[in-house]
Amino acid sequence: MSTAIALHAPIEAASRAARSAPAADAARADAMEATLRALVDAVPTATLLFDADQQVRYANPAARVLARLCAPDKADRPLAVVGDWHPELLNSGALHLCSMHGSWSGEVILGVGRGQHKILLLHLSRVGADLFGMTVRDITQDSMRESELHARNAELEVAYAKLQGAQEQVMQSEKLASIGQLAAGVAHEINNPIGYVNSNLSTLQRYISQLFSAIQSYEAALAGGAGATEAESIRRKLDLDFLVGDVPQLLSESREGIDRVCKIVRDLKDFARKERSEDWIKADIHRGLDSTLNIIWNELKYKAQIVKTFGELPPVECLPSELNQVFMNVLMNAGQAIRDQGIITVTTSVAGERVRVDIGDDGEGIPPDVLPRVFDPFFTTKPVGSGTGLGLAISYGIVSKHHGTIEVSSTPGQGTLLRIELPIAQPR
């Protein structure tokens, strides 16, 4: 090969071996040498052989190419020592380490003029007493690709984190939106008991002052030595009989009102609890359904009867407040499907390793062309402003996260059935 510079060492080694061997062996060694040489010449990786003084004994054609890469402006310079490739190609530390350990690998970054850089992967190995082999691979492209990949990956990670944040926000705001839809009903439901408790307290205040004045009148009557007739007339004047009869009733009604407010607040808290996504617990599905029904009842009671048929359910491994959100979305839809008066059925049962929650209504039903799209994000048939179009999409996501299924079937004019199935235990 005309481009090869020299190949002394293996020849010497081979001829040393050949001296003590018969001529046939020598011929075989020569043939082997020629083969090896052809092999190394053909290797596309720059390969050099040099001695301890870095005098190059052999360099393959790929090494020539490398030399041009290292100094494109001086393509035809003589290449006698390793430093002729590039003064910084091989540092003495690397060579020292190679002498000690037999080999060394590492990357070098070389300035190759015009502001350009090359990143090279070097592999050194000691191949004889004072001989070293070196392969050099240009990994500039690889490493650029790699760093680009890293950059892309980092961008993707950032985007993913953003998406996750956005998803969480959307879920939370959907939850708030549905609570917002409930707010009027809940306000009404709280204002009613607060209204009569508040009014009853005013009445009680009046009663008490009447009682006080009755006591004063009695005292005065007693001090004046008055008899039963006078006491009776005071009693009648202040209508004490009525008052005595009404106070226990007033108190028990007021107590009932306060209990109702407490219950609404408790249900709301149960419902709106924001749990972390890792809070999987074994929970009673019926409790979630009940607390959701309690809240939504304020909204539904004016137009729907609810028929609950609860089966025996084992505790289900789930994220309870997320499931509550699913139940609420589905129940709200059921309520909205009913125009005037209707029935909503809530039925639970066990089906193998899964629990089943069927929520049905006898409302307007969903037209066949709309049915396949009900789980699509932002798909809504409600007027602008009264639905986010995310309710069922989010419900679908939540049920999928539970490795469950949610299916809808509907007959226009007759009603709709949503079937939610959830595994009792999450797959490990």
Partner 1 sequence: MYRILLVDDEPNILSALRRCLASIDVGELDGEALKVEAFTSPEQALERSEEQDFDLVVSDYRMPGMDGVEFLSAMMELQPAVPRMICSGYADRDAIIAAVNEVQLARFIGKPWVDEELAAAVVALLRPGSARARAPKALRAQAASARITRVEQDDDGAIVLRSDDPA
Minimum CB separation of residue 240 from partner 1 in Å reads 14
CB closer to partner 1 out of 174 and 189: 189
CB closer to partner 1 out of 277 and 341: 341
Q: Binding residues for partner 1, per CB under 8 A?
A: 184, 187-200, 202-203, 206, 246, 249-250, 253, 256-257, 301-303, 341
CB closer to partner 1 out of 145 and 206: 206
Minimum CB separation of residue 392 from partner 1 in Å reads 26
Distance, in Å, from the CA atom of 130 to the CA atom of 54, rounded to the nearest integer, reads 10
Minimum CB separation of residue 380 from partner 1 in Å reads 21
CB closer to partner 1 out of 173 and 341: 341
In 10 A of CB 10, how many CB atoms? 20
CB closer to partner 1 out of 147 and 198: 198
Minimum CB separation of residue 179 from partner 1 in Å reads 15
CB closer to partner 1 out of 192 and 347: 192
Minimum CB separation of residue 235 from partner 1 in Å reads 18
Minimum CB separation of residue 196 from partner 1 in Å reads 4
Residues 95/82, Cβ–Cβ less than 8 Å: no
CB closer to partner 1 out of 278 and 340: 340
CB closer to partner 1 out of 253 and 275: 253
In this structure, what token pair is assigned to residue 281?
């617990």
Minimum CB separation of residue 282 from partner 1 in Å reads 37
Minimum CB separation of residue 330 from partner 1 in Å reads 22
Minimum CB separation of residue 345 from partner 1 in Å reads 19
Minimum CB separation of residue 261 from partner 1 in Å reads 11
CB closer to partner 1 out of 15 and 191: 191
CB closer to partner 1 out of 192 and 294: 192
Distance, in Å, from the CA atom of 380 to the CA atom of 314, rounded to the nearest integer, reads 35
Return the closest-CA partner of residue 86 out of 115, 38, 41, 120.
Answer: 120
CB closer to partner 1 out of 103 and 341: 341
In 10 A of CB 235, how many CB atoms? 16
Give the 3-state secondary structure of the chain: CCCCCCCCHHHHHHHHHHHCCCHHHHHHHHHHHHHHHHHHHHCCCEEEEEECCCEEEEECHHHHHHHHHHCHHHCCCCCCEHHHCCCCCCCHHHHHHHHHHCEEEEEEEEECCCCCEEEEEEEEEECCCCEEEEEEEECHHHHHHHHHHHHHHHHHHHHHHHHHHHHHHHHHHHHHHHHHHHHHHHHHHHHHHHHHHHHHHHHHHHHHHHHHHHHHHHHHHHHCCCCHHHHHHHHHHCCHHHHHHHHHHHHHHHHHHHHHHHHHHHHHHHHHCCCCCCCCEEECHHHHHHHHHHHHHHHHCCCEEEEEECCCCCCEEECHHHHHHHHHHHHHHHHHHCCCCEEEEEEEEEECCEEEEEEEECCCCCCCCCHHHCCCCCCCCCCCCCCCCCHHHHHHHHHHHCCCEEEEEEECCCEEEEEEEEECCCCC
Minimum CB separation of residue 216 from partner 1 in Å reads 20
